[in-house]
Amino acid sequence: MNFGGFFLKEPGRFPAEPMGVPWGEEVVDLAMSGSCFTFTGLSPRQAAYVRQRYGDFLGAPSDGDTPAVPTQLFRAAAEDFRSFAQRGWTYTLDRDYGPNRVRIAGLDLMALLDWSPHLSAALWSATETTPGFNLVFDNVFRMVSAYALLARGGVLLHSAGVSDGTWAWIGFGHSGAGKSTFSGLALDAGQRVLSDDLNALCREDGLWLAQRVPFAGELGPTHGDDRSYPLAGICRLAKGPAHQLAPLARPEALAALIGSAPYVNQDPYRVLDLMTSLEALVRALDCHDLTFRKDAGFWPLLAAAARPQRLSPAPSLEANHD
Amino acid sequence: MIEAATLLKPSSAIRYRIIDGEAIVVQQTDARVLNLNVLGSRILTALDGQTSVGDLVARLADDYEVDPEVFAADVRRYLGELEAAHVIEPVTTPAGGGAHGL
């Protein structure tokens, strides 16, 4: 099926440019993992949702030093979208990748990411009511976040991020590997959880940091901790009968991490940059296979395995990001 | 059928990177990721669309102490697996004929 055909009645009418009728005049600035995301054209109802949902991340407009990622919101007509039964159906955004653009179609939404010359986005929504708009906004914001991080040499990773208040560990793995269980057990042991679903990994002054993002899984969002924690290690998670920590070879770690970097890992124009960033990550940090049972006894193993990062210059990215 | 004269190249639908001698291959269509071992990585990087399978086998065989015929058969079988996994693809000529079976 051609791009958009599943969601749109007339995919050929997908907007070619970021133009249209705004929902309103509201503006919301969100600050996250080193970027300022500015959303314009929201209706009061939409803005209220974004401010409530992302309250911990409300920020000021970019001061010029912080990369700015503007997103314009426009109205779309509800009749432009197909309606269908959603029971038993896994929602996946339809994406069309290009060298300077990514087109996105989904439930009651169309979106356009554009890199000419800097990363910006346009979102056409057919709804401003909940829960429809929540889904529209959250899905597009996740994707924009992933691209903004990649442009800065970082990555948005499907993972559990936990911290002892000084260092952070990232546990990743396929669905069901135990990210939420790992996070919950760390929480029970008095540790902090950044997110049990998605975490931002980025480099600052050559050091890899983990930072909380407002996207959580079963545990729900954590609040209030806006610090970045230097990474002490990366673990591929698996549940098992006993706690065990074993070295994970870099090639295998890199392959597994690519599979855990949503959205950008399917973008043929930017996946090489993803691989570059993740290669730098696995060269800087020790990678492990962590098998754990349902108690926090794995924590001493992680603490004992923590090593200083191997610092190296930031690799240069190839794609036109910003 | 992959034969000695067959010309192959990395599929346009993959992106790959070598780390510690091993190739990490990403399939663009579904973000599937494959690891190729050191020999597999050498084979992938040698497939430039101009080197025939026969030449490739001859070049690699010098580095491995195995029976040349067994080695050639193993490499061809492996190439067949890579092609089936859409990691590599045959070079097609402008006239529309493939290089397969030459």
Q: Which of A251, A252, A265 sits opposite B31 (nearest CB)?
A: A265
Question: Is residue A311 included in any domain, yes or no?
Answer: no
Separation of alpha carbons A236 and A247, rounded Å: 10
Q: What's the pLDDT at B84?
A: 94
ipTM of the complex: 0.81
Work out the minimum CA distance from B33 to partner chain A, whole angstroms.
Answer: 6
pLDDT of residue A26: 97
> What total of structural domains would you count in chain A?
2
Residue A132 lies in a domain: yes
Chain B residues within 8 A of A280 when measuring between CB atoms: none
Cβ distance of B33 and A258 shorter than 8 Å: yes
B35 to chain A, any CB pair closer than 8 A? The answer is yes
| C-alpha span between A194 and A211 (Å, rounded) | 7
Q: Which residues of B touch A282 (CB under 8 A)?
A: 19
pLDDT number for residue A258: 96
The three-class DSSP label of residue A77 is coil
In this predicted structure, the answer to whether residue B31 has a pLDDT above a threshold of 90 is no
Confidence at residue A285, expressed as pLDDT on a 0 to 100 scale:
95
Mark whether A244 and A274 lie in a shared domain. Answer: yes
Question: B26 and A282: CB-CB below 8 Å?
Answer: no
Q: Is B93 on the interface with A (CB under 8 A)?
A: no
- Collect contacts of A50-55 with beta carbons under 8 A, ≥24 apart: A50/A137, A53/A134, A53/A137, A53/A138, A53/A214, A54/A28, A54/A30, A54/A214
pLDDT at B98: 45
The string of pLDDT tens digits covering residues B13-26 is: 999 999 999 999 99
Q: How close A264 comes to chain B (CA, Å)?
A: 9
Listed residue (A271, A282, A260) closest to A321, CA to CA: A271
Residue A280 phi/psi, 5-degree rounding, is: -60, -40
| Residue ranges, chain A, pLDDT below 70 | 223-224, 318-322
- Shared-domain flag, residues A161 and A242: yes
8 Å CB contact of B24 and A272: no
Last residue of a domain, one of A124, A151, A178: A151
> Quick one: A181 and A277 in the same domain?
yes
B69 inside domain: yes
Q: Which domain holds residue A132?
A: 11-151
Of A151, A170, A202, which residue sits at a domain end? Answer: A151
Both A240 and A289 in a single domain?
A: yes
* pLDDT class of B101 with cuts at 50, 70, 90: very low
Cα–Cα separations (whole angstroms), residue A275 to A157, A279, A318, B27: 13, 6, 11, 13
Q: Is residue A133 situated within a structural domain?
A: yes
Domain termination site, one of A151, A172, A192: A151
Number of domain units in chain B: 1
The whole-number pLDDT of residue A34 equals 87
Structural domain of B30 = 8-87
pLDDT digits (tens, 9 = 90+) for B43-71: 999 999 999 999 999 999 988 888 989 99
pLDDT at residue number A247:
96
To the nearest whole angstrom, how far is the Cα of B11 from the nearest Cα of chain A?
A: 12
Same domain, yes or no: A46 and A86: yes
The verdict on residue B94 lying in a domain is no
pTM of the model: 0.90
